[in-house]
Structure 1
């Protein structure tokens, strides 16, 4: 079976609860994955909003998630499992910043992307931006999955 990603906080294609947005508690939502390839040595999570007025906006990058993990608990940002690290998002922060589309801009689609990697660690500078980390991960991705949630203000 292929790698799958879900969130107990919201159904695929449905509204992301306010507690997981910058309008609420700004907590990263819980994520769960199944059927990771046995050769996966680590995982990476990236959250993107392709509907942002200035182009794709990255809200979170967590990488070097240990291979034995099968998910992230709610609020995992800042306290990720094992030696997981976080990249700098579009707001300039090295942690999860949830949805906050411009008021009246309509619904935005937030892509929570999971990549299973063939290396135990991505060696990137501590100040690396989310998009740079995703680019560095590309040659090491052996499986991907995503779950999309929606949010509007």
Structure 2
């Protein structure tokens, strides 16, 4: 599988409009080469550099989506409307939906990870990343990753 965005290249800068300093809307995503036998897709966006890339202490979860239909080929900017049947999980702001990059210090990496699954995970109820990953165990038949970086443009206090 391959995961791309028209907003930034793999390893490139996430544009400000997709961050807390901009409109905080999700970037457009496109994928292809979903494996045969895929029953659903899951998307996890996280930042392993929190709070400081020089001394990371945790992975901050920005977005969790699951039960994305396998025939979907991407998400538009802002991810609305979501493909029919797609369900939201819970991010680390304790809410569903996308929360854009907002690093407190330094340049952080943002991992957009797409998983092809041989099942649907409908029995989940707004799961956090860890619960979704547990439910996905043994069901991942394909994976793609897109990494973007971001450092705040405004003066840090």
Whether 1:108 aligns to 2:108 is yes
Q: State the Cα deviation string for residues 21-56 of structure 1 (Å, max 9, x = none).
A: 111111111111111101111101100100002300
Deviation at 1:121, TM superposition (A): 3.4
Larger radius of gyration: 2
Instruction: Please say if residues 121 and 135 of structure 2, whose CA atoms lie closer than 8 Å, have aligned partners that are also in contact.
Output: no
Deviation at 1:83, TM superposition (A): 1.1
Q: Distance in 2 between matches of 1:121 and 1:17?
A: 32
Instruction: Please say if residues 5 and 32 of structure 1, whose CA atoms lie closer than 8 Å, have aligned partners that are also in contact.
Output: yes
Instruction: Please say if residues 13 and 150 of structure 1, whose CA atoms lie closer than 8 Å, have aligned partners that are also in contact.
Output: yes
Instruction: Please say if residues 87 and 130 of structure 1, whose CA atoms lie closer than 8 Å, have aligned partners that are also in contact.
Output: yes
Instruction: Please say if residues 13 and 149 of structure 2, whose CA atoms lie closer than 8 Å, have aligned partners that are also in contact.
Output: yes
Q: Distance in 2 between matches of 1:20 and 1:131?
A: 24
Q: Distance in 2 between matches of 1:122 and 1:6?
A: 26
Deviation at 1:19, TM superposition (A): 1.0
Q: Distance in 2 between matches of 1:73 and 1:131?
A: 26
Q: Distance in 2 between matches of 1:152 and 1:138?
A: 33
Whether 1:66 aligns to 2:69 is yes
Q: CA RMSD in A?
A: 1.2
Whether 1:18 aligns to 2:11 is no
Alignment match of 1:40 (pick from 32, 38, 47): 38
Aligned residues between the structures = 147
Q: Distance in 1 between matches of 2:136 and 2:32?
A: 20
Structure 2 gaps, min length 5: 52-56, 153-157
Aligned partner of residue 130 in structure 2, secondary structure: helix
Task: Compute the TM-score of the two structures, normalised by the length of structure 1.
Answer: 0.91
Corresponding residue of 2:78: 75
